[in-house]
Structure 1
Amino acid sequence: MSSGAWNDILMILTGQITHSVQSSTDINSNNEDQTSKSDKLKKRSQVKQKIKEDLYEVDMQQEVIGKTIPPGPQRIRGIAGSGKTVLLAQKAAHMHLKHPDWKIALVFFTRSLYDSIIVEVNKWLKRFSNGKVEYDPDNNENLQVLHAWGAKDQPGFYRELCNIHDKKPLHAGRKKLVDGDPNEKLVHACKYFLEEVDKIKEVYDAVLIDEAQDLVVDNEEIKYEDKQPFYWLAYQSLKTIDEDKDKRLIWAYDEAQSLNSLNIPTAPQLFGDEPHFKRLVSGFHPGGIRKSEIMNKCYRTPGPILTAAHAVGMGLLREDGMLRGYTTQEDWENIGYEVKEGSFNPVGQKVVLHRPEEMTPNRVPELWPEDIIKFNSYNTRKEELNNLVEKIKYNIEVDGLSPSRDILVIALGNNQEAFKLKVEAARKLREERIDIFIPKALKNNILYPKYPNVDPNKFWNEGVVTFTTTYRAKGNEAYMVYVIGLDKVAEDESNFALRNQLFVALSRTKGWLEVSGIGSFPMYDEFRKVIESGNTFEFTFQRPLLEKEEKKNKQKKEDKDIKTNDVVELKSGQRAKVINRSRDTAIVKISDDETKVVKVKDCKFIRAGKKVY
């Protein structure tokens, strides 16, 4: 049966349009045909309407995954814009309709996504039930859309479990919690819960976690017995399905979008190193259901912008070599790229990466006569913001874009810098008598929303332009995105977290992207090269700087942990036993006849205190 015929059958069975992939030949010929036309769309509002009609939200892979109920855990890895949230909403709706007696939680981290996730779940409930069932948390507690933490006025996964176990939930302002970002504070609160509750009640039949990368922490001090506390709490709260002790925990993530942790751990790192967890998400469940799914096609972000976001986020074209990223052909293929030339082993080889157009079917590049991604540098912040104001006015008055949900301004930098820049830019637009909105505010034109006059779930307000930081922007999207303050990243261009923040900001767009900054930095030249490279990147591969730093940090940790009686490996390759150590040096016994003084940094930890001779 042809893919077209199968696609038609799916449309008849599900009552919805699915997207089938054209062959690359068809796509190329279509693009050439479009390019030759002189009547390309002239207004952004026309392009917006055209791509809305294309209905790219669901493809056949999503259709299958969304309607599959695994008899155990499942990991879904998807790149930005691949439809992970849509898929989890489908899955939750399908589970609820098929098993209305199950208690199901769909959990997410970014509070500003609350309303949009509820809308998505409600859409699929109505569609799958022919309009008979809607999302109604007041009258049906079996399907819950929950923020990971929650608040006094709003249920949350952590707070719900605290209430069930008669524990007072901790809030972000508690001094006993780690001094870090909100996700780290939540994870720390989960650690306290796990330490204080002897036996966690099995409450849920299924827990689905969106934005799962933000609930992973690198900070060893807030982990629970070498496990990730939020994941372990979610796992423990689930009912056991069968004699294999399987539980239905489903999590979706994109490691490139993590704002804090730069690693996505294996199942044993999430849940512990018991044998049961070693192959928790490897292979298949009974019935051929995959334990891990990969979604490598991006429907939201146009191809040239997605590839630029990946390249600059990882530092692929940096003069000093890549900062972080994938180091095998398989990993690149898993996110939709082809390795056209070269290899990652050994280092020093030229590598050519290419992203085929069919892996990013957004049609804006085909329909729009100009570049869809632009970068401008200015001498002063005033000049940068004046240009921003003029462009937004043009978008509204000439392009016909709506200020709300069509246009989004994202300020870069660390928390304090980004906050200040966001307010400065919003004030500039307000001076031109264009209304602005700062997320959390209860009404327009409030530059500093303050408790109690706030709504943490509110990201958009009708008829006005939203100004935000990357942390708030996560999960949201707009057709025209302005990313301002690139200098805040360029000043510290090897900072992994800032690069990651930049990737998240760039990938918020469904149509066009304009990036700006002030001054002159080497990173600006790198970014220009990235834009010019389109969907093909050529670079000399070296081990990522992040990998080298992690190795160095691991060694430092091992140095710190080396104790008397430990077995270590010396620079010479010999093994020895530590018989005494100071801060920087150790006396080691190599054999019954030989001891020597060595630097601790030259010792590699092997194991705790067994004889080796």
Structure 2
Amino acid sequence: MATTVPETIRSSATAGERLLFSTLKDYLPDDFIVYYEPEIQGKRPDFVIIGPDLGLVVLEVKDYLKNSILTVNNDEWTIFSTAQEQATVKSPLLQARQYMFHIMNRLQKDSNLINLEGKYRSQLKFPCGHGVVFTRMQQKDFVENQLYNVMEPNMMFARDEIDPEREAFSEANLMEKLLNMFTVPYRLREPLSYDDINAIRYHLFPEVRISAEFKPIAPHQDRILLSLHDIKTMDLHQENLAKQLGDKNRLIRGVAGSGKTLILASRAKMLSRQHPDWKILILCYNVSLAQNIRQMMEHMFEEQADLFDFVDENKEKNNVEVFNFHAWLYNKLRIKPQDIPSIVEKLKNKEAILPQYDAILIDEGQDFEAEWFTLVSNLLNPETKSLLLVEDRAQEIYKRKRSYVQDTGLDFRGRSKVLSINYRNTAQIVKFAWDFYQKNSALKNKVVEKDFQGEIIAPKSTRRKGPDPAIIQASSFKHEIRQVSKIIHRLHKEKQVPYDEMLILYRVKNSKSTNYIQTIQNKLADEGIPYYWLTQNRDSKNNFQKNDGKLKISTIESSKGLDFQAVFIVNVDNMPFALEDDVEREVSLLYIAMTRAQNYLSISYSGESEFTQYFEKVKEERLLGEEPKQSRFSK
């Protein structure tokens, strides 16, 4: 079964389009992607199919009856329109061909997608084809209407070739026909790689872009070519979700690392493109996450609408505001948290005027108070009702009591999506973190099951592998930080992990006997490791820049929503924190901390606590079990 974007076809699509959509989805291979009416730089072909051993094919769909076609030639056709009036239209094959060239012209400007030598020098390294699907005509009708005079048989599908209910239909014929929809017969010597397909998606659909590294622009045969590497895009599930959230109120519940924030930011960008006159607001709880989203949005809007337009005249207008909730209260509404109930009452009685937003997107919804939702929903344009909530209750560290229906006045039943796949962490980190959560959380019995809508979503990992998380026990905090700094050096020199892709997380700054922050700072300074104390004060949070070449030091709370290649959670013997009565909150905090790590995770301690006892047992089980196939990075 192929992947379709969107996952389902719109209800207003023609019967023929719905049939073709269903057939392509059900009968093409699993690694094929079928786009229905994608917008590609102002053009909207009916279908674009991308396959590793196919290349790219554009299909134009026509619901013509055999009696509605009067005359045909290579350029124009005379038909009876649906209003039974005679009309002259562009040849559907010419239309499909022009869409194909529109796509090719974009892709041929990327040096990674063309042949730089050989017989097909300067041409795309994969074939691009085009064809027409006549959903209400049989093959015999093509003869009667003399369509074979203007179109090759391999360039068009008839109804009986796309309808599984017809005797003439076969899966093999469907595939064979697609493989021959090329003006010049061409077969791929090697299938398109995952990176090749990602590059095609990156160029054709700006909304899926996350990041890419630009190589120097290179001239080639009188052309300027763009060259990218390390391209990162949303995966197809995330792309589908961002594009198909629909209007009105929506709820996304996802595990840590499932791309919730990315989908939220992409959704905001799409709304901005579709409605440049809208006033759009993104809210979250965490100051550093707000700064991270702000930078993400700024990057999205700074990027040229057309990567190949080297004279940048196409920057889009940024009509998206990003705030953490309390900064929004103080800076935009000029009120304090304790004023919210009275302000809400005044708004209901139309005794107060506050800014209104056409769309509001809320990250970290699990950390919002009920009255915050009430305030926000009162400032939402009642005509649009465009409210997106994103949450993960496994990361809930502030025990909020809420009912979304009651708090917002909006019903989310049938308007929610669950994201269970963790893309951020390696399989080893996902298992390590989830094992800890299940063993120590009182909410483990509230996990979502197949037929039970629970509160906590169990994460599923991708196939990405990595080293086992390190568990380090030291005789003192100084020795602990010494070992951590050695690993930091090793990762930086041997694994080329940038310092700004490393994060040290702590639970408390100091105790009666030890100034933990000072010890960390002194050791990093001695080792010549540049660092930035993200949670030193409010200014340091507001001025946070991830890509500044410096290792980050942060509380666990302020790391929510962030991710780094390597994460070091130190002083775990201070967890559960002695002054914290709610052990459940401490479990969630440590789970949050562990799931910040993309590839490398280190847990270290120099004392004893309920949590360190758990990790000691894990170490014992590792020693008793088989030696891991991939050695831990702490060795």
Q: Same fold (TM over 0.5)?
A: yes
Cα displacement (A) at 1:233: 0.8
Aligned-partner Cα distance in 2 for 1:473–1:396: 21
CA distance in 2, matches of 1:465, 1:211: 25
* In structure 1, distance between residues paired with 2:607 and 2:299: 47
Q: Offset of 1:299 from its aligned partner?
A: 0.8
Residue type of the partner of 1:101? D
Aligned to 1:295: 419
Once the two structures are superposed, residues 416-455 of structure 1 have per-residue CA deviations (whole angstroms, 9 ceiling, x without a partner) of 8999523421222113333321126xxxxxxxx568x756
Shift of the alpha carbon at 1:203? 1.2
Aligned to 2:529: 434
1:137-191: CA deviation from partner (whole Å, max 9, x where unpaired): 5xxxx432333232xxxxx36632x2xxxxx433xxxxxxxxxxxxxxx5x4534
> Is 1:9 matched with 2:9?
no
Instruction: Provide the C-alpha distance between the structure 2 equivalents of 1:19 and 1:376, rounded to a whole number of angstroms.
Output: 47
Q: Determine the C-alpha separation between the residues in 1 that align with 2:485 and 2:290.
A: 30
What number of residue pairs does the alignment pair up?
A: 407
Given that 1:19 and 1:58 are in contact with CA atoms closer than 8 Å, whether structure 2 keeps it comes out as no
Q: Which residue of 2 aligns with 1:508?
A: 596
1:18, distance to aligned residue in structure 2 (A): 13
Does residue 1:144 correspond to 2:281, yes or no?
A: no
Structure-1 separation of matches of 2:604 and 2:502: 16
**Which residues of structure 2 form unaligned runs of 5+?**
4-28, 42-47, 52-211, 214-227, 308-312, 623-635
Mapped partners of 1:531, 1:55: distance in 2: 37
Q: Deviations over 1:305-358 (max 9, x none)?
A: 123223323xx335xx84655255246999775xxxxxxxxxxxxxxxxx7xxx
Please say if residues 362 and 390 of structure 2, whose CA atoms lie closer than 8 Å, have aligned partners that are also in contact.
Answer: yes
Conserved? CA contact 1:19–1:56, under 8 Å: no
Query: How many Å separate the matches in 1 of 2:247 and 2:477?
Result: 55
Map 1:286-365; keep pairs closer than 5 Å.
291-313=415-437, 316-318=438-440, 322=442, 324=444, 326-327=446-447, 329-330=449-450, 337=458, 359-361=460-462, 363-365=464-466
Match of 1:112 in 2: 288
User: How much does 1:11 deviate?
Assistant: 11
* Contact kept? 1:105, 1:206, Cα under 8 Å: yes
TM-score by length of 1: 0.58
Q: 2:249 & 2:230 partners in 1: Cα distance?
A: 33
Measure, in 2, the Cα distance between the counterparts of 1:229 and 1:72.
21
Superposition pairs of residues 452-467 of structure 1, within 5 angstroms: 454=540, 456-460=542-546, 462-467=548-553
Paired residue secondary structure (2:244): coil
Matched residue SS, 1:501: helix
- Relative to structure 1, the CA distance from residue 335 to residue 523 in structure 2 (aligned partners, 3 Å threshold; closer, same or farther) is closer
Structure 1 residues 298 and 115: CA distance shift in structure 2, 3 A: same
1:517 aligns with 2:605: yes
CA distance change for structure 1 residues 327 and 121 in 2, over 3 Å: closer, same or farther? closer
The one-letter code matched in structure 2 to 1:205 is D
* Correspondence list, 1:574-585, <5 A: none
Aligned CA RMSD, in angstroms, stands at 4.1
2:411 counterpart of 1:234: no
Contact 2:574-2:609 at 8 Å conserved across structures: no
Matched residue SS, 2:591: helix
Question: Given the superposition, is the C-alpha separation of residues 213 and 57 from structure 1 closer, same or farther in structure 2, using an over 3 Å criterion?
Answer: farther
Amino acid at match of 1:375: I
Aligned partner of 1:206 among 353, 359, 367: 359
- Residues 57 and 421 (structure 1), Cα distance of their counterparts in 2 relative to 1, 3 Å cut: farther
1:544 is matched with which residue? none
Pick closer, same or farther for the CA change 1:458–1:120 going to 2, 3 Å.
closer
Report what 1:265 is aligned to. Answer: 402
What is the alpha-carbon distance in structure 2 between the residues aligned to residue 257 and residue 454 of structure 1? 24
CA contact (8 A) 1:7 1:60 kept: no
* 1:372-402 deviation per Cα after TM superposition (whole angstroms, max 9, x unaligned): 3111112211211121122222222333221
- 1:109-155 CA-to-partner distances (Å, cap 9, x unmatched) read 32223453234334555779436654655xxxx432333232xxxxx
Q: Give the direction of change, closer, same or farther, for the CA distance of 1:231–1:418 in structure 2 (3 Å limit).
A: farther
Report sequence identity in percent: 21
* Equivalent-residue separation in structure 1 for 2:491 and 2:449 (angstroms): 41
CA distance in 2, matches of 1:196, 1:258: 31
Superposed, which structure 2 residues align to 1:453-602 within 5 Å?
454=540, 456-460=542-546, 462-490=548-576, 495-529=583-617
- Give the whole-Å Cα distance in 2 for the aligned partners of 1:303 and 1:124: 29
Verify the 8 A CA contact 1:375 1:514 in the aligned structure 2: yes
Question: Contact 1:436 / 1:464 at 8 angstroms: preserved in 2?
Answer: yes
Letter paired with 1:281 = F
- The aligned counterpart of 1:425 is 520
Offset of residue 414 of structure 1: 8.2
Letter in structure 2 aligned against 1:507: T
Distance in structure 1 (CA, Å) of the matches to 2:270 and 2:483: 47
Counterpart code for 1:465: L
For residues 520-550 of structure 1, the C-alpha deviation after alignment (integer angstroms, 9 at most, x for no partner) is 345334235568889xxxxxxxxxxxxxxxx
Counterpart selection for 1:250 from 385, 388, 398: 388
Distance in 2 of aligned mates of 1:468 and 1:214? 19
Distance of 2:289 and 2:283 partners within structure 1 = 11
User: Which protein, 1 or 2, shows the higher relative CO under an 8 Å CA cutoff with sep ≥ 6?
Assistant: 1
Could you say if the C-alpha distance between residues 450 and 332 of structure 1 is closer, same or farther in structure 2, counting changes exceeding 3 Å? closer
SS at match of 1:77: strand
TM-score (norm 2): 0.56
C-alpha separation in 2, matches of 1:7 and 1:264: 44
Of the candidates 365, 386, 395, which is equivalent to residue 482 of structure 2?
A: 386
Structure of larger gyration radius = 2
Change (3 A) 1:418 1:306: farther
1:193: Cα distance to partner? 3.4
Q: Which amino acid aligns with 1:458?
A: F
Out of 103-112 and 508-517, give the one that drifted further: 103-112
Whether the aligned pair in 1 keeps the contact of 2:509 and 2:515 (CA below 8 Å) is: no
CA distance in 1, matches of 2:392, 2:520: 30
1:375 aligns with 2:461: no
- CA change 1:533–1:474 in 2 (3 A) is farther
SS at match of 2:554: strand
Name structure 1 gaps, 5 residues minimum.
21-47, 151-155, 163-167, 171-185, 217-227, 284-290, 338-354, 366-370, 441-448, 535-613
For the 8 Å contact 2:422–2:461, the answer to whether it is kept is yes
Asked if the contact 1:483–1:516 (Cα under 8 Å) also holds between the matched residues in 2, the reply is: yes
Question: Distance in 1 between the 2:36 and 2:462 partners?
Answer: 19
What secondary structure sits across from 2:407 in the alignment?
helix
Closer/same/farther in 2, CA of residues 134 and 488 from structure 1, 3 Å limit: farther
Residue in 2 aligned with 1:281?
412
Amino acid at match of 1:105: L
Distance 1:510 1:258 in 2: 21
Distance in 2 between residues matched to 1:56 and 1:531, nearest whole Å: 35
- Separation in 1, partners of 2:294, 2:412: 28
Offset at residue 252 of structure 1 (A): 0.6
Using the alignment, how far apart are the partners of 2:391 and 2:277 within structure 1?
Answer: 28
